[in-house]
Amino acid sequence: MKLSVWARRQGIGSKTAWRMGKDGKMPVPVEPLPTGTVIVHAEERQPGGVALYARVSSADQKADLDRQLARLTESALAKRLPIVDALKEVGSGMNGPRKGLLRILRDPKVGVILVEHRGQRMRAKMALEALHE
């Protein structure tokens, strides 16, 4: 694939990727063509399995975590999705720490994060954006 496409998928600028290639710091093999185009020989990331993510905002709701996780598991199994991780977190507010969610986002085996509530999906999106900053 072209260097610019690879850079976009990695969340970095094409100039940054070009400098990395020039300095010999690319994490994947590259091939400069006589035309000036740089080809990246990276394996396409295959979509991985599913991570189940259950979260409640306070400790007195901990019992709901197991119920959420059970419903998520049933949903994944009904759709024949391979479950590679399951996570339960307790934390309040939109800006609360999400160490477990960040761990899932960094895991290359995870292709999809399954959540039960729309608010959790937004928190996952915010955590993903923070991860790429």
- Is the domain of 11 the same as that of 63? no
The confidence band for 48, taking pLDDT boundaries of 50, 70 and 90, is confident
Given a cut of 60, is residue 124 above it in pLDDT?
no
Structural domain count of the chain? 2
List the catalytic residue out of 57, 58, 75, 92: 57
The confidence band for 129, taking pLDDT boundaries of 50, 70 and 90, is low
The letter for the amino acid at 82 is P
- Is the domain of 57 the same as that of 118? yes
- Is the domain of 29 the same as that of 78? no
Residue 95: domain span = 49-131
CB 126 within 8 A of CB 65: no
CB 115 within 8 A of CB 124: yes
Residue 48 carries which DSSP code? -
Q: What is the pLDDT of residue 23?
A: 86
The confidence band for 55, taking pLDDT boundaries of 50, 70 and 90, is confident
Across the chain, what does the average pLDDT equal?
79
Active site residue 57: yes
Radius of gyration (Cα) for the chain, nearest Å? 19
| Cα-to-chain-centroid distance, residue 16 | 22
- Is the domain of 27 the same as that of 58? no
φ/ψ of residue 72, rounded to 5: -65, -40
Read off the pLDDT of each residue in 80-102 and give the average, rounded to a whole number: 78
The confidence band for 34, taking pLDDT boundaries of 50, 70 and 90, is very high
